[in-house]
Structure 1
Amino acid sequence: MSQILVTGAAGFIGFHVTSKLLSLGHQVTGVDNLNSHYDVQLKQARINQIQHDSSFQFIETDITDTDSMLRVFDQAAFEKVVHLAAEVGVRNSLLKPLEYVQSNVLGFVNILELCRIHQVAHLVYASSSSVYGANRKTPYSTHDRVDHPVSLYAATKRADELIAHSYSHLYDLPTTGLRFFTVYGPWGRPDMAVFLFTKAILEGTPIKVFNHGNLKRDFTYVDDIVNGVLSVLDDIPSRDEAASTGTPAETDEQTEAPYRLYNIGNHQPVGLSQLIDVIEQRIGKPAIRDNYPMQPGDVLETYADISELQQAVGFSPSTSIEEGIDRFVEWYLSYYSSTQ
């Protein structure tokens, strides 16, 4: 079994990835700074779920702290790294631009440098569907140009992709970027639509429906995401393979670097109004809908072309929005009844 580092282990996706790796028998070190940008108690509760596993070590630190992260890498010979730590969210990036650049760009370079120095076999990192920005063609393909981000968050994630390519090209560091599409599920983030809508409906408070509900998102259930991440983690890119086949990227230009980019989504966009309908049906209570205009940084639709990930590792998301919402609401009711 492998020694694996997961950054952002107390985060939503990081927690689920770590849990799955531990269930498969891997030795996992998780790092997270447990910042207060959303409920720290929820982050701590996630860690508490896996803290008892003898194959897991949790270290509270920040990826931008070079000395601390160097100690993390020195204490274990990590074969692979799953980098999920980041400042997340489009709207919040408009309020805290310096924090986003510090964590998402400088922090990512720190991880790349440490992976290079310690000769990590594969770095898998989180990008985002937000990099597609002003693109109007759907479904979004990794062959589309992504030159027009409409939020600072998107710009930081695009910067990560470019910097990762530099490291792959210069140092033969195998890297794979995953453009996540609206992940939801148990233990989800409180700032995401599924969480916000569920909370508001249960409490009988109004929900903000942006663009009058005329938005679509490629909502992807977290278990499907985790299966994709772990499949990619085992599929290490090589320079020889890239030279012979071309590498999935945002243009048709080939690169001989051990570098890949994939979309990871459900390939079935759901309208915002439909999502609210499904949550209402599961809870058995109507929502109070307050309509708002389109927000800065938002896009009308996200829709993942996942054909390249399907071909590479057999990725096949199988969780319907109805099934996923059932599982989320069940967790929400259980978690918040136990914390009150």
Structure 2
Amino acid sequence: MNTHALIILFLFAAPFNHVNAAVMLAPGTVLPGQAYIDKGAEYADRIVAIRRVSATGIISYATGIKLTPYHVLLPAHVIDSLSGFRPPERLKVLIGTNFFSPQRTLDVASYATHPTYVSGSNSVGGSVMDMAILKTSLAMQGPFAKLAINPVANGVTITYAGYGMPGLSFDSATTHDGSLRAFRGVTTNPTSQFDDSMYGATFASVSLGLSLPGSGSAGDSGAGGFVSDNEIAFMATSGAGNSFTFGIDLATTAARAFISANTVMPDPPRFAVDLVAGSAQLSLSNLLSGREYSVMRSPTLSGWQEARRFTATAPTESWSEPISPGGRMFYRYEWTE
């Protein structure tokens, strides 16, 4: 997509393998207290798939939650392995209803993990807050998930949306159809495991009622738990078959603090001009490496002509040009996502 900004200037000559999370039901399955929802596609604008590649080239998938145009929330163990965190170049963010045929694939520029999570431990629970935030190299289009205000309570209906495969307990895409699925369940006596000021992790016991005890659903780690169409209260991190889902209550103080600290939006480009020895010295700063920018000019706000086009290799691009004979020039710049 193109993002445009108009600058008006008057020149007068003087931006891993793991225990799986909540089990997704097979299409059409209806059980007491919960129901398969054949509308997972409705969550594709807020839920993304995460493709990860191991050091030996094995590909697996997980789920992430879109928070801003550049940030995705997911469990830290998804980017971890027993040999340490995967480098960003072995991670991709996939947008669409099926991770085998994504509508868009984004590189990961960087990520942040919660300070309580230790790389290589492959651990969930205990004193660990299993959460991380990816920063994408290019912007994603909205809408985005909105964090719930109230913590998860007993009897709350939660709709989980994720890229898990029904009834399978191994993390492989071999027999996975790649689809985004959703199911709805009611929480049963969710219990806070830790003091909210420390970790903010919460057990949310969901009655799944499956006949496959101990099975997991590969790809569901990071599944979002929605309490309304756009309000998300819970992120699944692991589970115990059909007994409960363990994850992060996103309304807690600690979860919000981590998310807030790691979802700072990049500053937009800044345009500047100086008059030096009869010429205009122009610069565009706050550039993202690898992104293409173009600067257009016009003395009348019509009949725009290209003044500069470049692919950024540094945070700032500078150039000069003669001052307009009329002593006035309008500039606009744009970039391509």
Q: Indicate the TM-score class for this superposition, using the shorter chain for normalisation.
A: under 0.3
Determine which structure has greater relative contact order: mean sequence separation of CA pairs < 8 Å that are 6+ residues apart, divided by chain length.
Answer: 2
Q: How high is the TM-score relative to the length of structure 1? A: 0.25
Higher fraction of helix = 1
Larger radius of gyration: 2
Higher fraction of strand = 2
Q: How high is the TM-score relative to the length of structure 2? A: 0.25
